[in-house]
Amino acid sequence: MKRFIRILLTLAGLIGGFILSYYVLALDPFTRLTGVGIDDPVGKTIILTGTIILGLVGFISAPRMTRTVSDGARWAEMRLQKVPLPEILSGTIGLILGLIVAILLGQAFSRVPLVGSVISTVGSLVLGYLGLAVFSRKREDFAGLFGFRTRDRSVKEHAVQPKVLDTNVIIDGRIADICKSGFIEGPIVIPGFVLEELRHIADSSDILKRNRGRRGLDVLNRIQKELNIHVQVYERDPWGDLEVDSKLIQLAKTLDGRVVTNDFNLNKVAELQGVPVLNINELANAVKPVVLPGEEMSVHVIKDGKESGQGVGYLDDGTMIVIDGGRRHIGETIGVMVTSVLQTAAGRMIFARPKAERAMS
């Protein structure tokens, strides 16, 4: 695409240089002043030189102009995606009506000498802008005049936001079960650059990375085919060479959505930039059963702890239980009584003692 644009700009420069040089040489004052005409060898050299110079200007300036146009189009696209469709339609209608009124008034002023065309042009700009602004801001009132109802602004504020999935949360796999349970409403947005990253991981020579990538692709396949939830693949990538995490944040801003992740760093960066985040790890911690001191439970002691005499076991959800005096029960399933619960950023840790020892004490 960039090469095609460069060729077009080069051709435009060549054509423009030829026309400009030819027009200058064709002027009678220039011919009388210099004595050079179009048919003279010098005139032909001037035309050729002007054509080549402007052609080179078009060729050299093509990359900068391409970037400028691309950045402008990207900015306009991102702004338009945030504007509600009713506002775009009402603004367009207002612009058309304003221009129609400007044309009708312009016919009356077009016969005024000297300033008639200027008044018509300025009137078109002013009335077109007024129509656009008034219809955009008063679209509910105009819709009411014709019997139409627009959605209340409060309904719009509570509309379902898209959920943008990152690579880690797809590989993690729990997002599929959460979607299946109905706790997350769609649409689920899967960025194209995330799919590309998953494909690279799945093609890795490292067997662990390859298995993770294939697991992520299997999870996506399950979400798309088995779950009754709307899934959208966002193919566009207007953010160029930014990192994947930065692209996710920009995409969430563009779609006015939320980032779904289990990455602690992405969570913090997104929050700093004002992007809402759904963290799977925080959800897992929130739904863990509440354990209070004095409660009894059965635990299978797996290994010894850091301190002397301690044993360590785990609940089904992965919560670590440190059993004071449980070292001699390694390999056994014993009843314990909870003595305290420690909540940390990494999760919960439960401290307990064997029930028999509690009874003796």
Task: Report in angstroms the alpha-carbon separations of 262 from 151, 212, 287.
Answer: 35, 15, 15
Angle at 263 between CA 258 and CA 267, to 5 degrees: 45
296-360 shares the fold of 163-286: no
Residue pLDDT tens, the chain, 361 long: 667 777 888 888 888 888 887 877 777 666 666 666 667 777 778 888 888 888 888 888 888 877 777 777 777 776 666 666 677 777 788 888 888 888 887 777 777 666 667 777 887 888 878 877 877 776 666 655 555 554 444 444 445 788 999 999 999 888 888 888 888 877 889 998 999 999 999 998 889 889 999 999 999 888 888 888 888 888 887 777 788 888 899 888 888 889 999 888 888 898 888 899 998 888 877 777 778 888 888 999 999 888 888 999 988 777 889 999 889 899 999 999 999 988 765 567 899 999 865 444 4
Put residue 330 in one of left, alpha, beta given phi > 0 → left and psi -120 to 50 → alpha. beta
* Residue 231 near residue 223 (C-beta atoms within 8 A): yes
Alpha-carbon separation of residue 60 from 50, 63, 72, 89, 308 (angstroms): 15, 7, 20, 40, 75
Taking the C-alpha atoms of residue 5 and residue 18, their distance in angstroms, rounded to an integer, is 20
The fourth-level CATH superfamily of domain 296-360 is Nucleic acid-binding proteins (2.40.50.140)
Among the CATH numbers 3.40.50.11860, 3.30.420.40, 3.40.50.1010, 3.30.2000.20, which is that of 163-286? 3.40.50.1010
Beta pairing partners, 258: 163
Strand ranges across the sheet with 163-165 = 231-234, 188-191, 163-165, 258-261, 277-279
Q: With 0-12 CB in 10 A as exposed, 13-18 as middle and 19+ as buried, what is 331?
A: exposed
Q: What's the rounded Cα separation, in Å, for the pair 297 and 359? A: 15
Beta strands at 296-304 and 311-314: parallel, antiparallel or unpaired = antiparallel
* Closest by Cα among 84, 128, 87 to 105: 128
User: How many contiguous H segments (helices) and E segments (strands) does the chain have?
Assistant: 15, 10
Residue type, 97: L
Q: Where are the beta strands (DSSP E) in the chain?
A: 163-165, 188-191, 231-234, 258-261, 277-279, 296-304, 311-314, 320-323, 333-344, 347-354
- Torsions phi, psi for 142 (to 5 deg): -65, -35
Q: What three-state secondary structure class fits 331? A: coil
* Beta bridge partners of residue 298, listed in sequence order: 335
CA distance 49 to 53: 6
- Tell me how far CA of residue 253 lies from CA of 78, 114, 175, 257, 341, in angstroms: 9, 50, 21, 7, 39
The answer to whether 38 and 8 have CB atoms below 8 angstroms apart is no
pLDDT of residue 29: 67
Q: Residue 81: is it exposed, middle or buried by C-beta count within 10 angstroms (0-12/13-18/19+)?
A: exposed
Query: Residue 343: CA atoms inside 13 Å, Cβ hemisphere, count?
Result: 8
Domain positions in the chain: 2-81, 88-155, 163-286, 296-360
Rama region for 114: left / alpha / beta (φ>0; ψ in -120 to 50; rest):
left
Retrieve residue 213's tokens.
Answer: 């990538």
**Contact between 243 and 167 (Cβ < 8 Å):** no
Q: List the structure tokens of 95.
A: 């612009």
Q: What is the pLDDT of residue 139?
A: 66
